[in-house]
Amino acid sequence: MNVSVVIATLHREEDLRVLLDSFLLQTKSPCEILIIDQSDDENTEKLCMSYERKLPLKYLHSAVKSGTHSRNMGIQKSKGHIVAFLDDDTKLLPDYIEQIEAFYKEFPQAIGGMGKIINYRDFRENLFGKGALPVIYKMAASFFGLNSFRKGFILLKSSRNIECYDSDQTLEAEWLSGLSWYKREIFSEFTFEEKFDKWSFGEDRMLSYRIFKKYPGSLYFYPKAGLYHFESDKNRLPEKNKILRKTVYQYWFSYSSVDKNRFFYWWGNLGEILLHLLNAVIMREPLVNTWYYIKANTKLILNLKKIQAGHLKSIGG
């Protein structure tokens, strides 16, 4: 069993360098590392050339600026029995690839898995604060179906998801993040949603949940495979555009892939607006973000028929 790694990237040479350096320390090398570069310059290509003699790198350029298109391109060009996906702003623990192979030996019936994000607690504290604040937030979010006090990697009635990265136990999952891996043969049935162009929110969850629905019990959280995810700020969409795409893509996922009552989705959207307003009141984020969520939901409602038909690019942003 061998592992192909697919990394989609766009103008993040320094972040990518950190990831490639972590491959040099792996106890087991992947059979190939495919870099799908959407950049307009040659900086990423030059970086990859500097690692050609150190790592089994394959550099590919994509003229289409889409993370999902790049990942599907990587699937088509890869050759490993297992296809693993990484963001360009991650760093692997030394036995990450070795643990992916160990995962399939331990769970031969599994289709896909994902590892532990070591610094996830830091990310949550930065997002929600410390002390009583995150508990209050979680209670309010749970009321609107945006969170839950249940444990696991579960999809909620609102089509939102919860996670449990603090666990040290292997858990069955209903969805996987973009930092995941799959048996190659599953891609004869499923691919990443290419209606999500540019910044792609939730394409990983959409792919994995569709697999879960057809093959329940086939996806796992496997904490022995660990990595850091740094959430790079470089080359991000402006917040206004990001919120619009997040709102529209979230609806498309709910409408096309989740067999749930639509009431819970809209109830969740209302809660999302109110919680962002609360964050603005306590000065944890700009008030304008709440306005962006209101505008995004208004645009979603006004273009609902187009979006239900799959014309997501018509919304702009």
Q: Are residues 176 and 244 in the same domain?
A: no
* pLDDT given at position 259: 72
- Total domains present in the chain: 2
* pLDDT given at position 222: 98
* pLDDT given at position 121: 75
Q: Are residues 18 and 121 in the same domain?
A: yes
Q: How far is Cα of residue 27 from the mean position of the Cα atoms in its chain?
A: 26
Backbone torsion region of residue 34, taken as left when φ is above 0, otherwise alpha when ψ lies between -120 and 50, otherwise beta: beta
Q: Are residues 180 and 276 in the same domain?
A: no
Would residue 316 count as lying in a domain? no
Q: Are residues 106 and 216 in the same domain?
A: yes
Backbone torsion region of residue 231, taken as left when φ is above 0, otherwise alpha when ψ lies between -120 and 50, otherwise beta: left
* pLDDT given at position 272: 96
The C-alpha angle 53, 91, 238, rounded to 5 degrees, equals 110
Would residue 204 count as lying in a domain? yes
Would residue 146 count as lying in a domain? no
The CA distance from 230 to 15, in Å, is 9
Whichever domain contains 193, its CATH number is 3.90.550.10
The CA distance from 88 to 9, in Å, is 6
Q: Are residues 161 and 73 in the same domain?
A: yes
**Are the beta carbons of 33 and 58 closer than 8 angstroms?**
yes
Would residue 39 count as lying in a domain? yes
Would residue 143 count as lying in a domain? no
**Are the beta carbons of 203 and 138 closer than 8 angstroms?**
no
Residues 6+ apart with CB under 8 A from 129: 137, 284
Segments forming the whole domain that contains residue 120: 3-130+156-229
Would residue 135 count as lying in a domain? no
What does the pLDDT profile of the chain (317 residues) look like in tens digits?
899 999 999 999 999 999 999 999 999 999 999 999 999 999 999 999 999 999 999 999 999 888 999 999 999 999 999 999 999 999 999 999 999 999 999 999 999 999 999 998 776 655 556 666 777 888 999 999 999 989 999 999 999 999 999 899 999 999 999 999 999 999 999 999 998 877 778 899 999 999 999 999 999 999 999 999 998 778 778 899 999 999 999 999 999 999 767 899 999 999 999 999 998 998 889 999 999 999 999 999 999 999 999 998 767 66
pTM assigned to the model: 0.93
- Measuring CA to CA, how many Å separate 124 from each of 29, 100, 154, 163, 231? 31, 26, 18, 11, 12
Strand-pair partners of 228: 91
Residue in 12, 2, 154 with CA at minimum distance from that of residue 70: 12
Q: Kind of pairing, strands 32-37 and 219-229? A: unpaired
What is the per-residue DSSP string for 88-115? TTEEE-TTHHHHHHHHHHH-TT-SEEEE
Residue in 249, 231, 246, 219 with CA at minimum distance from that of residue 153: 219
The CA distance from 147 to 140, in Å, is 8
Q: Are residues 207 and 83 in the same domain?
A: yes
Q: Are residues 163 and 290 in the same domain?
A: no
Would residue 55 count as lying in a domain? yes
The CA distance from 250 to 262, in Å, is 12
Q: Are residues 250 and 225 in the same domain?
A: no
The CA distance from 173 to 306, in Å, is 32
Q: Are residues 22 and 86 in the same domain?
A: yes
Q: Are residues 223 and 254 in the same domain?
A: no
> Last residue of a domain, which of 195, 229, 263?
229
Q: Are residues 205 and 120 in the same domain?
A: yes
Q: Are residues 222 and 244 in the same domain?
A: no
How large is the angle between the packed helices 262-281 and 132-143, nearest 10 degrees? 150
